[in-house]
Structure 1
Amino acid sequence: MRKRKDFKRREGVKSARLVVIAAEGRNTENIYFESMKVSLCASDVHVEVLHRDSNESSPENVYEQIRKFMSEYNIEDDDQLWIVVDKDKWKDKMLSAVAQYCTQNDNLRFCVSNPCFELWLLLHIENIATYNEEEMAALKMNRKVNTQNTWLKKRLKDLTGHYRESDYDAMALLSHVDIAIERAEKLDTTPTDRWPQSVGTRVYLLAKSIIGRKDNI
């Protein structure tokens, strides 16, 4: 059996807690977390965002990306490995399988957004608690509104002036991360569920971990 390597952690902080992120999307999530790593990461945290070349983005594939990392490197007790996926197109059975893997390893975290990661971005700049029934239904369904955009993508574009999955200003959003955390927490009315059953996102837990807030991680 091949010996695992020690991961090279943040320079000057030998005991830095490792936060590894593997996400369903190839661009949107990585842009956000790479920006967060640069601007808001706690001094005793090392963030490692895993990238991939393929379009294989099922929850199982994202888990395999994390599993491969775990097979290559020594993982400390307080390290966290986050599987960041969307609820929208995946069946409960597929999500349940990955959630089960996470219950079997204390280092793993299952981080689902319902319907998708763009909800987390939206919470930085809009309070969806003010939405009427029609707006909330449109958000939840998140259908395509034109050839390029879903409802959430168009909403982000309308509010920020420019939004594409591979091109948006994450730094501008991050200046509002505290309010996004607060709004996401209020949406998470059943935190013991394995993922949000209605509109909601668990990315707030990952954000707290990166910036060093100890509550509810």
Structure 2
Amino acid sequence: MANAFRLKASTMFSRMDDEVNESPLRIVFLSVEGNKTERQYFEYIEKYRNKLGIKASVHIHPLQRAKRDNLSAPQDVLELLEEYLVIRKNDVLPKRLRKVIPKEYSEEFINRYLKAELDMKDEKVKIFEAILEEAGYDVAYNDYLREFKGEDDVFGIVLDRDYKSHTVLQMKKIVQECMKKDYKIYITTPLFEFWLLLHLVDIKSLSKEQLECIKVNNGVSEKHTYTSKCVSDIAGHSKSISDKVFQKYYLPKIDYAIKQAKELCGDIDELIGSDQTDESKMGSIGTNLPELFELLRNARK
């Protein structure tokens, strides 16, 4: 990644700490593949956390990125998480950003800026912020991410299996990297919309042919694959999920989706599949997302 900084609020982001009175014991930070569907879904999970039985001391935050950021390969999703971790661990600007800042801005000036010790109305400060903005650095959102921490936070990524775009080897390398760094990884086969579909239909009622169409998941229009079209036909939305739709179709059925998911494949190796045959490369239909909800509700790793 060149000098593009991907952690950006695509909207006026909601500051969780405005509504949190206690010091959160744990925040689950997620880097997700989709810039709309997944992010919005998990933002609603945070919004309606009390109704979902999530522990008072546990919160979830899907990392935001710019509207035009459509980088969704597994490595890109992991990279976004690690960009956040650099910001979190270092109370300094990222090295890549420091390279584009003129030498007239000393380390002392930058450190005082980061600690909010400067007059924000000062002309030099305004020019400095314009430089950061030009470099693609979202000052407000990155400051928020740097400050908002729990005591026992969890970091994870949410991926589609999507055998048409991601090879078995790609997926396995990402899993190995996440395990090595103690990141959580949540995979849905064939893609996240199948997790949404688990809220909407009785999977056992689907025919063998319908399940095969879900697994192959061919495109059926410019907007939809077979699976996303199934979701759209029932819930009436495309990529974006409104609050009203979430409350009607997803919020009341989350435990139903979890129950159905547990009756399907939840093993990461099986979700990814193998290179033995064309069929095995697709992976097994299912998801391990129930593990995320157990984490949120039980407050244990």
For Structure 1 versus Structure 2, the TM-score category normalised by the shorter chain is 0.7 to 0.9
Quick one: which amino acid aligns to residue 129 of structure 1?
K
Q: How does 1:18-33 map to 2 (within 5 A)?
A: 18-33=27-42
8 Å contact kept, 1:31–1:170: no
Greater strand share, structure number = 1
From 35, 38, 61, the counterpart of 1:48: 61
Do structure 1's residue 176 and structure 2's residue 253 form an aligned pair?
A: yes
Unaligned 5+ residue runs, structure 2? 1-15, 90-148, 273-282
TM-score of the two chains, using structure 1 as the length reference: 0.85
2:37 and 2:24 map into 1 onto residues whose CA distance is 30
Shift of 1:122: 0.5
From 145, 155, 169, the counterpart of 1:81: 155
Q: What per-residue deviation string (whole Å, max 9, x for no partner) do you get for residues 30-51 of structure 1?
A: 1100011000243111211101
- Tell which structure's C-alpha radius of gyration is larger: 2
Quick one: which amino acid aligns to residue 159 of structure 2?
V
**Structure 1 residues 194 and 153 mapped into 2: Cα distance closer, same or farther (>3 Å)?**
closer
What is the match of residue 61 of structure 1? 76
Shift of 1:193: 2.8
**Structure 1 residues 48 and 192 mapped into 2: Cα distance closer, same or farther (>3 Å)?**
closer
Quick one: which amino acid aligns to residue 260 of structure 2?
R
TM-score of the two chains, using structure 2 as the length reference: 0.63
Identity of aligned residues (%): 27
Do structure 1's residue 124 and structure 2's residue 199 form an aligned pair?
A: yes
From 110, 115, 119, the counterpart of 2:185: 110
The DSSP-based 3-state class of the residue aligned with 2:290 is helix
Q: How does 1:201-212 map to 2 (within 5 A)?
A: 201-210=287-296, 212=297
Q: What per-residue deviation string (whole Å, max 9, x for no partner) do you get for residues 174-217 of structure 1?
A: 2110010111111126x36374530011222223323x1468x6
From 157, 175, 194, the counterpart of 2:232: 157
8 Å contact kept, 2:262–2:290: yes
The DSSP-based 3-state class of the residue aligned with 1:187 is coil
**Structure 1 residues 192 and 142 mapped into 2: Cα distance closer, same or farther (>3 Å)?**
closer
Greater helix share, structure number = 2
1:126 and 1:117 map into 2 onto residues whose CA distance is 15
Shift of 1:147: 2.6
Do structure 1's residue 35 and structure 2's residue 44 form an aligned pair?
A: yes
